[in-house]
Amino acid sequence: MLDKDMFDTPCYVIDESVLKHNLEILKGVQERTGAKILLAQKAFSCYHLYPMIGQYLCGTACSGLFEAKLGYEEMGKENHVFSAAYRKNEIDEIIGYCGHIIFNSFSQLDKYRDKVLSAGKKIGLRINPEHSTQEGHEIYDPCSPRSRLGITLANFRKNDLRGVSGLHFHTLCEQNSDDLEATLEAVEEKFGDILGDMEWINLGGGHHITREDYDIPRLEKCIKHLQEKYGLEVFLEPGEAIALNAGYLVTEVLDITKNDMPIAILDTSAACHMPDVLEMPYRPPLFDSGLPDEKKFTYRLGSQTCLAGDSIGEYSFDSPLSIGDRLVFGDMAIYSMVKNNTFNGMPLPSIYLLKEDGSAQLLRSFGYDDFKCRL
Ligand SMILES: Cc1ncc(COP(=O)(O)O)c(C=O)c1O
């Protein structure tokens, strides 16, 4: 367990051992199946770790120009990009950085097809299999009604695929391989007749491969099915699975107040440092704590900001909290640093690497200029 007093707060701490453990699992999938796994940078872009991640994975997946450039510069392996639409003034640079360019519509394909082909790069189309496997999280469901993500069968021109060598879909979010299997059935039902004409398929992200209950053999069966039946090269681009549980957020209790229950004010913020807590919403794990009233002393954990709802949740402890105590939230490597903001002028947390030998290395710290320079 990390020594929470060795850091300045607030800070993220990336746990190298957990990251490597996850990467070993993913490497095993690659080795057993021949599938290629890419880091979806949208979840984790801490590029200081890219050289190490690149020793295990085949490359990076990008959402646009800046991630494309980062993946190219810092990992320099396969680089695939998908965006709902590309700007005219970015596309040439993107093509320079990426080997696979994935379009979200036939109008984008028409606009940029010849440019991509003449650069010798590969073209993919994102399809929407219209098969939801998640409930209650419409914001994370690309198959929800009226979704803008992926081309539906009714809008897909199967006779207009000149230069298109691959298909991409991304429909899952923190899901197991039974949902992938069900999604693949929908993909085959709608697009099976053109799969044999493709060279590759990208199964997107949302595969929680490194979670303990994830059914890896079932995933491998899905991959092998695509390889054997259609001769496809298979890519996956998980984000969460790569850095799942591989980071912490260390924060300090600044004050203890009371309304109708005890409240602890922390030097971190859900809105600024863990926005998924409010957006998703979810309750982040907190070490040495329990559910409300599970342990003797329950507190509402809140932030310094003005936002009334900037609360992380209610947690209980064996002993009362004191000003100056350190608290450690878990699973804070993914969708955290990449989503930070400085609302209220909140400082950005420093980023540390907790190395395998137990020592800590400060990767980045931030100050007033990081707030000011964006305004
Ligand atoms: C196109 C695409 N690929 C990959 C991912 C990564 O998903 P996850 O981090 O859930 O594995 C996402 C997440 O939104 C995505 O939109």
| Residue 216 forms part of a structural domain | yes
Residues 188 and 53 reside in one and the same domain? yes
pLDDT at residue 139, rounded to an integer? 83
Backbone angles phi, psi at 108, to 5 degrees: -65, -40
Identify the burial level of 21 via C-beta atoms within 10 angstroms of its C-beta, where 0-12 means exposed, 13-18 middle and 19 or more buried.
middle
**Is the beta carbon of 170 within 6 A of some atom in ligand 1?**
yes
Side-chain half-sphere CA neighbours of 321 within 13 A: 30
Residues 83 and 147 reside in one and the same domain? yes
C-alpha dihedral (267, 268, 272, 278), degrees to nearest 10: -130
d(CA 261, CA 275): 24
Query: Which letter does DSSP use for residue 77 in this model?
Result: S
**Is the beta carbon of 204 within 6 A of some atom in ligand 1?**
yes
| Residue 24 forms part of a structural domain | no
Residues 168 and 82 sit within 8 Å (Cβ to Cβ): yes
Residues 117 and 147 reside in one and the same domain? yes
| Residue 19 forms part of a structural domain | no
d(CA 249, CA 329): 5
Ligand 1 site-directed mutation target among 42, 148, 169, most atoms within 8 Å of CB: 42
**Stretches in the chain below the pLDDT threshold 50:** none
H or E segment at 258?
strand 247-258
| Nearest alpha carbon to residue 99 among 126, 86, 75, 81 | 81
Query: Which letter does DSSP use for residue 337 in this model?
Result: G
pLDDT at residue 1, rounded to an integer? 65
**Is the beta carbon of 237 within 6 A of some atom in ligand 1?**
yes
Last residue of a domain, one of 210, 242, 274: 242
**Interval between CA 40 and ligand 1 midpoint (Å):** 6
**Is the beta carbon of 206 within 6 A of some atom in ligand 1?**
yes
Tokens of 169: 């879909």
Residues 64 and 125 reside in one and the same domain? yes
We report the CATH number of the domain holding residue 264 as 2.40.37.10
Q: For residue 43, which atom of ligand 1 is closest to its CA? A: 9
Residues 88 and 222 reside in one and the same domain? yes
H or E segment at 266?
strand 262-266
Residue with the nearest Cα to atom 13 of ligand 1?
Answer: 205
Residues 88 and 204 reside in one and the same domain? yes
Residues 309 and 232 reside in one and the same domain? no
d(CA 238, CA 240): 6
Residue with the nearest Cα to atom 9 of ligand 1?
Answer: 239
Residues 173 and 280 reside in one and the same domain? no
**Interval between CA 335 and ligand 1 midpoint (Å):** 10
Residues 363 and 220 reside in one and the same domain? no
| Residue 307 forms part of a structural domain | yes
**Interval between CA 306 and ligand 1 midpoint (Å):** 31
Last residue of a domain, one of 242, 270, 294: 242
d(CA 238, CA 256): 40
Residues 180 and 290 reside in one and the same domain? no
Identify the burial level of 259 via C-beta atoms within 10 angstroms of its C-beta, where 0-12 means exposed, 13-18 middle and 19 or more buried.
exposed
Q: How many domains does one find in the chain?
A: 2
**Is the beta carbon of 238 within 6 A of some atom in ligand 1?**
yes
What are the CA-CA distances from residue 33 to residues 216, 219, 285 (Å)? 11, 10, 33
Cross-strand pairs, 11: 250, 350
**Is the beta carbon of 124 within 6 A of some atom in ligand 1?**
no
Task: Region of 344 please: left (phi>0), alpha (psi -120 to 50) or beta.
Answer: left
Q: What is the pTM of this model?
A: 0.96
d(CA 274, CA 270): 5
We report the CATH number of the domain holding residue 85 as 3.20.20.10
pLDDT at residue 51, rounded to an integer? 98
**Is the beta carbon of 150 within 6 A of some atom in ligand 1?**
no
Domain span at 133: 34-242
Q: For the chain, what's the residue count? A: 375
Backbone angles phi, psi at 177, to 5 degrees: -80, -10
Last residue of a domain, one of 226, 242, 258: 242
Identify the burial level of 290 via C-beta atoms within 10 angstroms of its C-beta, where 0-12 means exposed, 13-18 middle and 19 or more buried.
middle
**Interval between CA 289 and ligand 1 midpoint (Å):** 30
**Interval between CA 237 and ligand 1 midpoint (Å):** 7
Provide the H-helix boundaries in 149-292. Answer: 177-195, 216-230, 240-243, 270-273, 276-279
